[in-house]
Protein backbone atom coordinates (compact mmCIF):
# COMPACT_ATOMS: atom_id res chain seq x y z
CA UNK A 1 0.00 0.00 0.00
CA UNK A 2 1.27 3.47 -0.84
CA UNK A 3 0.26 7.10 -0.30
CA UNK A 4 -1.11 6.39 3.17
CA UNK A 5 0.22 9.73 4.43
CA UNK A 6 -0.69 12.01 1.53
CA UNK A 7 -1.70 15.48 2.79
CA UNK A 8 -0.17 14.73 6.20
CA UNK A 9 2.61 16.75 7.82
CA UNK A 10 5.03 14.87 10.05
CA UNK A 11 7.59 16.24 12.49
CA UNK A 12 10.27 13.60 13.07
CA UNK A 13 12.50 14.62 15.95
CA UNK A 14 15.78 12.76 15.86
CA UNK A 15 15.19 12.25 12.16
CA UNK A 16 18.71 12.84 10.87
CA UNK A 17 20.06 9.33 11.52
CA UNK A 18 19.26 5.77 12.54
CA UNK A 19 15.67 4.81 13.28
CA UNK A 20 14.42 8.39 12.95
CA UNK A 21 15.87 8.77 9.47
CA UNK A 22 14.41 5.43 8.38
CA UNK A 23 10.98 6.53 9.63
CA UNK A 24 11.30 9.90 7.89
CA UNK A 25 12.18 8.12 4.62
CA UNK A 26 9.15 5.84 4.92
CA UNK A 27 6.90 8.84 5.61
CA UNK A 28 8.21 10.67 2.53
CA UNK A 29 7.67 7.54 0.42
CA UNK A 30 4.08 7.43 1.67
CA UNK A 31 3.45 11.01 0.53
CA UNK A 32 3.90 13.01 3.75
CA UNK A 33 5.48 16.41 4.13
CA UNK A 34 8.29 15.82 6.59
CA UNK A 35 10.30 18.09 8.85
CA UNK A 36 13.21 16.47 10.64
CA UNK A 37 14.97 17.88 13.68
CA UNK A 38 18.34 17.19 15.22
CA UNK A 39 21.11 18.96 17.06
CA UNK A 40 23.73 18.60 14.32
CA UNK A 41 23.18 20.94 11.36
CA UNK A 42 25.57 19.01 9.11
CA UNK A 43 23.78 15.72 9.74
CA UNK A 44 20.44 17.46 9.22
CA UNK A 45 21.54 18.72 5.80
CA UNK A 46 22.88 15.31 4.78
CA UNK A 47 19.62 13.67 5.82
CA UNK A 48 17.57 16.19 3.81
CA UNK A 49 19.73 15.47 0.75
CA UNK A 50 19.04 11.75 1.19
CA UNK A 51 15.30 12.24 1.73
CA UNK A 52 15.04 14.56 -1.28
CA UNK A 53 15.81 11.54 -3.46
CA UNK A 54 12.44 10.15 -2.36
CA UNK A 55 10.39 13.34 -2.55
CA UNK A 56 11.26 16.92 -3.37
CA UNK A 57 12.75 20.01 -1.83
CA UNK A 58 9.21 21.13 -0.98
CA UNK A 59 8.52 17.83 0.82
CA UNK A 60 11.43 17.75 3.28
CA UNK A 61 12.78 20.38 5.66
CA UNK A 62 15.11 20.33 8.63
CA UNK A 63 15.47 22.45 11.73
CA UNK A 64 18.17 22.42 14.38
CA UNK A 65 16.74 21.58 17.79
CA UNK A 66 17.99 20.60 21.23
CA UNK A 67 15.02 18.87 22.88
CA UNK A 68 16.25 19.82 26.35
CA UNK A 69 15.39 23.44 25.47
CA UNK A 70 11.71 23.70 26.39
CA UNK A 71 11.26 27.11 24.77
CA UNK A 72 13.02 25.85 21.65
CA UNK A 73 10.65 22.88 21.46
CA UNK A 74 7.59 25.13 21.50
CA UNK A 75 9.17 27.43 18.93
CA UNK A 76 10.01 24.46 16.70
CA UNK A 77 6.43 23.19 16.77
CA UNK A 78 5.13 26.65 15.88
CA UNK A 79 7.67 26.88 13.05
CA UNK A 80 6.63 23.55 11.55
CA UNK A 81 2.95 24.47 11.76
CA UNK A 82 3.67 27.79 10.06
CA UNK A 83 5.80 26.33 7.24
CA UNK A 84 3.93 23.06 6.66
CA UNK A 85 0.41 24.12 7.58
CA UNK A 86 -0.01 21.57 10.37
CA UNK A 87 1.59 18.84 12.40
CA UNK A 88 -0.44 15.69 11.96
CA UNK A 89 2.24 13.27 13.18
CA UNK A 90 4.87 13.83 15.86
CA UNK A 91 7.66 11.28 16.25
CA UNK A 92 9.63 11.70 19.45
CA UNK A 93 12.83 9.96 18.41
CA UNK A 94 15.69 11.94 19.93
CA UNK A 95 17.71 9.83 22.33
CA UNK A 96 21.06 9.37 24.03
CA UNK A 97 22.66 6.47 25.88
CA UNK A 98 25.32 5.94 28.52
CA UNK A 99 26.53 2.78 30.23
CA UNK A 100 27.61 2.94 33.87
CA UNK A 101 27.15 0.84 36.96
CA UNK A 102 24.33 2.46 38.93
CA UNK A 103 26.60 3.76 41.68
CA UNK A 104 28.97 5.27 39.11
CA UNK A 105 26.39 7.59 37.53
CA UNK A 106 26.75 11.21 38.51
CA UNK A 107 23.59 13.21 39.05
CA UNK A 108 24.36 15.30 35.97
CA UNK A 109 24.85 12.20 33.78
CA UNK A 110 21.62 10.61 34.98
CA UNK A 111 19.69 13.86 34.60
CA UNK A 112 21.05 14.50 31.09
CA UNK A 113 19.65 11.17 29.83
CA UNK A 114 16.26 11.91 31.38
CA UNK A 115 16.31 15.43 29.93
CA UNK A 116 16.77 14.15 26.37
CA UNK A 117 14.90 10.84 26.39
CA UNK A 118 11.94 11.73 28.62
CA UNK A 119 11.67 15.46 29.18
CA UNK A 120 12.21 16.21 25.46
CA UNK A 121 9.11 14.20 24.47
CA UNK A 122 7.27 15.84 27.38
CA UNK A 123 8.05 19.33 26.03
CA UNK A 124 7.20 18.47 22.42
CA UNK A 125 4.01 16.60 23.26
CA UNK A 126 2.76 19.49 25.38
CA UNK A 127 3.63 21.85 22.54
CA UNK A 128 1.84 19.89 19.82
CA UNK A 129 -1.33 18.77 21.62
CA UNK A 130 -3.26 22.08 21.39
CA UNK A 131 -2.72 22.13 17.63
CA UNK A 132 -3.76 18.50 17.19
CA UNK A 133 -6.82 19.04 19.36
CA UNK A 134 -7.86 22.02 17.26
CA UNK A 135 -7.80 19.91 14.10
CA UNK A 136 -9.31 16.88 15.90
CA UNK A 137 -6.68 14.53 14.48
CA UNK A 138 -3.17 13.59 15.44
CA UNK A 139 -0.69 10.78 15.85
CA UNK A 140 2.07 10.85 18.47
CA UNK A 141 4.67 8.11 18.17
CA UNK A 142 7.23 7.82 20.95
CA UNK A 143 10.36 5.82 20.23
CA UNK A 144 10.69 3.71 23.34
CA UNK A 145 12.85 0.63 23.72
CA UNK A 146 12.84 -2.94 24.91
CA UNK A 147 14.83 -1.35 27.77
CA UNK A 148 11.56 0.26 28.85
CA UNK A 149 10.11 -3.19 29.50
CA UNK A 150 12.67 -4.84 31.80
CA UNK A 151 15.82 -4.35 33.86
CA UNK A 152 19.34 -4.27 32.42
CA UNK A 153 22.78 -4.12 33.95
CA UNK A 154 24.86 -0.95 33.58
CA UNK A 155 22.21 1.21 31.89
CA UNK A 156 19.83 2.25 34.65
CA UNK A 157 19.48 5.85 33.45
CA UNK A 158 18.54 4.78 29.92
CA UNK A 159 16.09 2.16 31.21
CA UNK A 160 14.47 4.63 33.60
CA UNK A 161 14.03 7.15 30.78
CA UNK A 162 12.35 4.55 28.54
CA UNK A 163 10.17 3.16 31.34
CA UNK A 164 9.05 6.75 31.94
CA UNK A 165 8.37 7.34 28.26
CA UNK A 166 6.15 4.26 28.07
CA UNK A 167 4.30 5.45 31.18
CA UNK A 168 3.81 8.90 29.67
CA UNK A 169 2.56 7.31 26.45
CA UNK A 170 -0.16 5.45 28.33
CA UNK A 171 -1.21 8.40 30.47
CA UNK A 172 -1.41 10.92 27.61
CA UNK A 173 -3.29 8.38 25.47
CA UNK A 174 -5.96 8.08 28.16
CA UNK A 175 -6.26 11.83 28.59
CA UNK A 176 -6.69 12.58 24.87
CA UNK A 177 -8.85 9.56 23.99
CA UNK A 178 -11.85 10.64 21.97
CA UNK A 179 -10.19 13.76 20.55
CA UNK A 180 -9.00 12.09 17.34
CA UNK A 181 -5.45 11.83 18.71
CA UNK A 182 -3.66 8.55 19.37
CA UNK A 183 -0.45 8.11 21.35
CA UNK A 184 1.65 4.97 21.01
CA UNK A 185 5.23 3.86 21.58
CA UNK A 186 7.35 1.84 19.19
CA UNK A 187 9.80 -0.23 21.26
CA UNK A 188 12.81 -1.49 19.29
CA UNK A 189 15.13 -4.15 20.58
CA UNK A 190 18.72 -4.11 19.39
CA UNK A 191 18.94 -2.10 16.16
CA UNK A 192 22.18 -1.53 14.25
CA UNK A 193 22.79 2.20 14.69
CA UNK A 194 25.41 4.56 16.10
CA UNK A 195 23.75 3.99 19.49
CA UNK A 196 24.29 0.22 19.30
CA UNK A 197 27.97 0.85 18.55
CA UNK A 198 28.20 3.11 21.61
CA UNK A 199 26.37 0.54 23.73
CA UNK A 200 28.85 -2.19 22.79
CA UNK A 201 31.85 0.01 23.62
CA UNK A 202 30.45 1.33 26.89
CA UNK A 203 29.10 -2.02 28.08
CA UNK A 204 32.53 -3.52 27.33
CA UNK A 205 34.23 -0.81 29.39
CA UNK A 206 31.75 -1.25 32.25
CA UNK A 207 32.10 -5.05 32.32
CA UNK A 208 35.81 -5.35 31.53
CA UNK A 209 35.34 -7.20 28.25
CA UNK A 210 35.39 -6.31 24.53
CA UNK A 211 32.77 -4.79 22.20
CA UNK A 212 32.88 -7.96 20.11
CA UNK A 213 32.08 -10.07 23.16
CA UNK A 214 29.22 -7.77 24.11
CA UNK A 215 27.80 -7.95 20.57
CA UNK A 216 28.03 -11.74 20.48
CA UNK A 217 26.24 -11.94 23.82
CA UNK A 218 23.47 -9.67 22.59
CA UNK A 219 23.05 -11.68 19.39
CA UNK A 220 22.66 -14.74 21.59
CA UNK A 221 19.69 -13.12 23.36
CA UNK A 222 17.82 -12.45 20.11
CA UNK A 223 15.80 -15.32 18.65
CA UNK A 224 16.62 -14.19 15.11
CA UNK A 225 20.31 -14.14 16.04
CA UNK A 226 20.99 -10.64 14.71
CA UNK A 227 20.46 -6.96 15.26
CA UNK A 228 17.53 -5.46 13.40
CA UNK A 229 17.96 -2.71 10.81
CA UNK A 230 16.47 0.79 11.16
CA UNK A 231 14.14 0.32 8.20
CA UNK A 232 12.56 -2.66 9.97
CA UNK A 233 11.01 -0.13 12.37
CA UNK A 234 9.59 2.07 9.63
CA UNK A 235 6.60 0.01 8.51
CA UNK A 236 5.08 -0.02 11.98
CA UNK A 237 5.68 3.73 12.27
CA UNK A 238 3.79 4.30 9.02
CA UNK A 239 0.88 2.25 10.34
CA UNK A 240 0.82 4.18 13.62
CA UNK A 241 0.90 7.46 11.68
CA UNK A 242 -1.97 6.54 9.37
CA UNK A 243 -5.74 6.39 9.53
CA UNK A 244 -5.46 2.60 9.75
CA UNK A 245 -4.35 2.80 13.40
CA UNK A 246 -7.35 4.85 14.57
CA UNK A 247 -8.38 2.14 17.05
CA UNK A 248 -4.95 1.77 18.68
CA UNK A 249 -3.73 4.01 21.47
CA UNK A 250 -1.69 3.73 24.64
CA UNK A 251 0.28 0.78 23.31
CA UNK A 252 4.01 0.05 23.58
CA UNK A 253 4.79 -2.33 20.74
CA UNK A 254 7.94 -4.45 20.68
CA UNK A 255 9.93 -4.91 17.47
CA UNK A 256 12.88 -6.89 18.78
CA UNK A 257 13.57 -9.96 16.64
CA UNK A 258 12.21 -12.20 19.39
CA UNK A 259 14.51 -10.83 22.08
CA UNK A 260 11.89 -11.23 24.82
CA UNK A 261 11.65 -14.97 24.16
CA UNK A 262 15.32 -15.74 24.83
List 97, 158, 227, 239, catalytic entry: 158
Q: How far apart are CA 110 and CA 115, in angstroms?
A: 9
Tell me if 190 sits within 8 A of 222, measured CB to CB.
Answer: yes
Tell me if 259 sits within 8 A of 226, measured CB to CB.
Answer: no
Q: How far apart are CA 229 and CA 226, in angstroms?
A: 9
Query: Measured over all CA atoms, what is the biggest interatomic distance in the chain, rounded to whole angstroms?
Result: 53
Tell me if 29 sits within 8 A of 242, measured CB to CB.
Answer: no
Q: How far is CA 150 from CA 162, 186, 197, 225, in A?
A: 10, 15, 21, 20
Q: How far apart are CA 32 and CA 246, in angstroms?
A: 18
User: Does 158 qualify as catalytic in the annotation?
Assistant: yes
Known catalytic residues?
158
Amino acid sequence: MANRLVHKSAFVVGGNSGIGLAIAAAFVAEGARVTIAGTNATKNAAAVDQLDQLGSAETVRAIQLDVTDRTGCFEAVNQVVETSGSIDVLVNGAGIYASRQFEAFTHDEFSRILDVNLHGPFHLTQAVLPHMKSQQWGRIINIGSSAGKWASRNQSAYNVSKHGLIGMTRCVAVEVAGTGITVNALCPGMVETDMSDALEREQADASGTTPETVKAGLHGRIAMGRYLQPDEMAGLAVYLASDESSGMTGQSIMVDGGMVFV
